[in-house]
Each structure stands twice: as C-alpha cells, then as structure tokens.
A and B are shown apart, each in its own frame.
Chain A
Amino acid sequence: MDLSELERDNTGRCRLSSPVPAVCRKEPCVLGVDEAGRGPVLGPMVYAICYCPLSRLADLEALKVADSKTLSESERDRLFAKMEEDGDFVGWALDVLSPNLISTSMLGRVKYNLNSLSHDTATGLIQYALDQGVKISQVFVDTVGMPETYQDRLQQRFPGITVTVKAKADALYPVVSAASICAKVARDQAVRNWQFLETLQDFDADYGSGYPNDPKTKAWLRKHVEPVFGFPQFVRFSWRTAQAILEKEAESVTWEDSTAGDQEGTGRITSYFLSEGPRTHHHAPHRYFLERGLEPATTL
C-alpha cells in the first residue's frame, strides 16, 4: 500500500483509494465499512470502505476474506494483494486519522469524542464513494457502540441505500471483512513506518501492540515521556494511559479551559526584588492598562 502521502505529513488525516472499477459505476454495489486501530494509545486509526457489485459478491467471498483479526499479518497482506489484483471489480478507500488529529479532537475546547469522529469519518468515506460514482445499494458497517442509533443516523443520511450496522459485521459480511483487511493493512504499515517528526533520544522501536494494556507499550510510553512536551505526536494524548503517565512524570500545564483542580500552584515566581508586599491593590490601573494586561513592574 502506498502510504507516502501520510509519511510526508502525518499530523492530520490522509485519504487513500483504489481506482473505481468501471463495473461499480454501472451495477448496484455492496459496500462494507470497518476500522482498525481504534483502541491503541499509539498510532493512527484507519477507517476503510471496500465495495464490489452485488453480482460479484461470490467472487469476493471466493478470496476467503475473513475478519482481519483472525488472520495473520502475512495473510492480510496476501489478501490485500489479491484484492488489488481483482481491481476490476473490487474497490476500496480509506482515511488515516493521525494520532495528533485524534488527540486534538478529543482534547478540544469543544470535545469531539472518538465515536463522533468515527461516525463522521465513516459517513465521509461512503459519501466519497458516492461522489466517485459508485452505485451503492447496500452498506454494511461494523460497530463497537450501539448499532441502532448509528444505523438510524446513517440511514437518514443516505436514504437511498439500505444500511445495516452490526456488531461483528466484519465476521459476518465478506465486504466488511475486506474493508477490515484494508484498514488493518494500512494501520500496520503506518505504525511500522511511522515518520516521527520529533527527534527522539535513545529511540526504541519496540512499542508492542500499542494497546494500553500491553506492558511493552506502557514501558515504551514511560521511556519516551518528555517533561515539557509529553510525548511525540505518535501517542494519543487523550488516552487515559497517556494522561496518567503525564500526570506523574511530566510537568504540569494549564490552559484557560483547564478545570480548576488542575490549576494549583500557578504563579510561583522567584525574584530578586523580593516581595510585592501584601497583595492589596488600592489603585486600579487605568482601563487602558487593564485592557492590555499591563501593570507597573514591581519585581524583576
């Protein structure tokens, strides 16, 4: 898979896709949606769609695609290669959401949670296929959350398409299995070839599975925590595991929207001109200064 665009800039999101098979613009198609790398504290999350004409579904099944989790990495790579060979009737597209995008979304002033981010990405990919001229008649989506509300929302968004949202859809529908393989291949490759934009010292490439409960991953996080910057952007700062390590091992940082509890200890400044005396202000500076955050310096 050619992820060179991601490797050039992995701070945002990146979309990759196969050419649209001509037959998919003519015949009604079935499309599967799945994701890889939702849980890990490291690396990107990848959303993928895979589609083929209803008339060729048997051919897709014949590839023996299965839930990517039940396959070895080499089997996934082999299956993805086969799908590429069958590019005359199988198409795919994927969105790589960088860990930085995930962190900044989830930690935003207005929190953008992972579910919303996932749903919007899936919706975006379906719309992308439609925009490319793919004649979608059925969509199957794998989900980890509540399938009903998700299905309602997608169905509303795409009224002309029959939408099925199901837990474990990746094991039930070959087109979802195929999407899960695309997603997983992309995620693995992205993690394996991650271009750290930070220069890390004593860099250790052995970060385990990336899942928060993997001792190797935890050890890696602890090793690479930086007191001021925290982690490289490869890490999802919004994960509890990452936050817990930061709280213990990195310096405290407060923002204007930080909750009050985080803000203790602000304003410790030592100075030569010692004390400012009791902190009573009996003269309010003129509004010109107040509006500009200016006051007479009383310490250096």
Chain B
Amino acid sequence: MESSDEAAIEKHRVHLRPVTLRNAAPAALHLLPCEVLVSQSAPVGRFFTPAIRQGPDGLEVSFRGRSLRGEEVAVPPGLVGYVMENEEKFIGKQDFSGALESDNQEEEREPLERDFDRFMGATASFSHFTLWGLETIPGPDAKVRGALTWPRLAAAIHAQVPED
C-alpha cells in the first residue's frame, strides 16, 4: 500500500466514496484482548461465534485455549461505525470520467492525480461490537470505553464560541 512517490507524501488525498456510507451492510465486530499478527480472512462464523455462551456475568468464549469474557458495547448515539478499505488499484478511468460527468459541484471539479489520489470505501457498518477481555469482563474501566466518550467532549471543545 506504500506509495511509489515518497517525496511528497503529505499531498495525498484519500477519497472516501460517499455512496458506500449508505450501502454498507451491517457487520459483526469483536474487539479481542490479544494481538493476532495477521490481517486476513478467518472463519469466525465456523470457529468463534458458535462457541459464545451467555454466562452468569456476561458472554463467554475461548480463543486459542484462553478464556475470554465479553460484553456488547454500543456505538455512542449520533455516530455510526464503519469498516473501511482502501481500494488497492490505482485510480481507474471511471473515476476521472466520473468527475467530468458530475453535477458541477465544485468538489467534483478537483482534478485527480494518479499518484496522489486514492479511494477508500466503507465495506460494512455497525452500531455495536463485542468487547472481550482476557478472563474478566472489560467493564467500565476499559480504555476503549473511555475513548468512546471522546466525541461528546470533542463537540464541546470544537463548538463555536458564543459571541460577546
């Protein structure tokens, strides 16, 4: 995924295809308490999901012989979860022509440059995910739960200030 042109890296633009935000099908996500060192397809539905049990204090499963405890975490209101993927291929002709036949919105007249413009699209969406802890429920002190409170605070920091 590295660019061939390394000198001007900060010039890159990654275009997120808006249409993909509307068409993304719901996905099931699990945040695991371990690092799997690869990113690849994996038979989650054949190995993992069928092993999940509802225990007395939350969800239970095991992975690689280790016991996990989990809970559902909702995406904070006002937000949507998306899974996005870079489009590996370079910009195709359709992207240039697409820009030409567009409805003259200014943003679409921006010329694309083969070396600096890439596309990315949402491949799935989610409104909640399962958060797993090693042997114990992650609970309210889980760092990621703290992170989920950020958008609300960000809204206050970045809101326009009242006029005098």
Contact between chain A and chain B defined by CB under 8 Å: yes
Residue numbers of A with Cβ under 8 A of B are 9, 11, 100, 103-104, 106-109, 197-201, 226-230, 232-233, 236-238, 242, 246, 251-257, 265-266, 268, 270-275, 288, 291-294, 300
A contact residues around B144 at 8 Å (CB): 293
Describe A's contact surface by its main secondary structure. Answer: loop
Min CB distance A76 to B, Å, is 30
Complex CA–CA separation, A233 to B67 (angstroms): 12
B contact residues around A226 at 8 Å (CB): 43, 47
Is B78 an interface residue, CB under 8 A from the partner?
no
Is B42 an interface residue, CB under 8 A from the partner?
yes
Is B91 an interface residue, CB under 8 A from the partner?
no
Q: If the complex has contacts A11-B53, A251-B37, A251-B38, are A109 and B134 also in contact, measured as CB distance less than 8 A?
A: yes
B contact residues around A230 at 8 Å (CB): 64-65
B contact residues around A108 at 8 Å (CB): 66-67, 135
Whether the Cβ atoms of B65 and A273 lie closer than 8 Å is: no
Complex CA–CA separation, A230 to B9 (angstroms): 39
Within 8 A of A (CB), among B64-82: 64-67
Within 8 A of A (CB), among B106-164: 118, 120, 134-135, 143-144, 146-147, 149-150, 153
**9 interchain residue pairs of minimum CB distance:** A237-B65, A103-B65, A292-B146, A104-B67, A228-B42, A229-B47, A199-B46, A293-B143, A292-B147
Max chain B C-beta neighbours (<10 A), residue from A201, A232, A233, A238: A233
B contact residues around A236 at 8 Å (CB): 65
Within 8 A of A (CB), among B24-42: 33-38, 40, 42
Complex CA–CA separation, A106 to B144 (angstroms): 29
Max chain A C-beta neighbours (<10 A), residue from B9, B45, B46: B46
Q: If the complex has contacts A229-B63, A229-B64, A275-B9, are A266 and B1 also in contact, measured as CB distance less than 8 A?
A: no
Whether the Cβ atoms of B65 and A238 lie closer than 8 Å is: yes
Q: If the complex has contacts A104-B62, A237-B65, A256-B33, are A229 and B42 also in contact, measured as CB distance less than 8 A?
A: yes
A contact residues around B47 at 8 Å (CB): 198, 226, 228-229, 232
User: Number of residue pairs across A and B with beta carbons under 8 Å?
Assistant: 126
- Looking across the interface, which residue of chain B has its beta carbon closest to that of A103? B65
Is B100 an interface residue, CB under 8 A from the partner?
no
B contact residues around A237 at 8 Å (CB): 64-66
Q: Which of A103, A253, A300 contacts B36 (CB 8 A)?
A: A253
Min CB distance A272 to B, Å, is 5
B contact residues around A288 at 8 Å (CB): 153
Whether the Cβ atoms of A265 and B37 lie closer than 8 Å is: yes
Whether the Cβ atoms of A274 and B43 lie closer than 8 Å is: no
A-B contact pairs, 25 of them (CB 8 A): A11-B53, A11-B60, A100-B65, A103-B62, A104-B65, A104-B67, A106-B65, A109-B134, A198-B51, A199-B45, A199-B46, A226-B47, A228-B38, A238-B65, A256-B134, A272-B3, A272-B12, A272-B14, A274-B2, A275-B9, A291-B143, A293-B143, A293-B144, A293-B146, A294-B150
Known: A229-B48, A271-B2. 13 other contacts (CB 8 A): A103-B66, A107-B65, A198-B47, A198-B50, A198-B51, A199-B45, A228-B36, A237-B66, A252-B37, A257-B134, A292-B149, A293-B147, A300-B86
Is B6 an interface residue, CB under 8 A from the partner?
yes
Complex CA–CA separation, A154 to B33 (angstroms): 38
Whether the Cβ atoms of A254 and B35 lie closer than 8 Å is: yes
Min CB distance B11 to A, Å, is 11
Q: Which of B40, B53, B67 contacts A9 (CB 8 A)?
A: B53
A contact residues around B36 at 8 Å (CB): 228, 251-253
B contact residues around A272 at 8 Å (CB): 1-3, 12, 14, 86, 118
Complex CA–CA separation, A96 to B76 (angstroms): 43
- Looking across the interface, which residue of chain B has its beta carbon closest to that of A266? B35
Whether the Cβ atoms of A273 and B37 lie closer than 8 Å is: no
B contact residues around A242 at 8 Å (CB): 65
Min CB distance B84 to A, Å, is 9
Whether the Cβ atoms of A254 and B34 lie closer than 8 Å is: yes
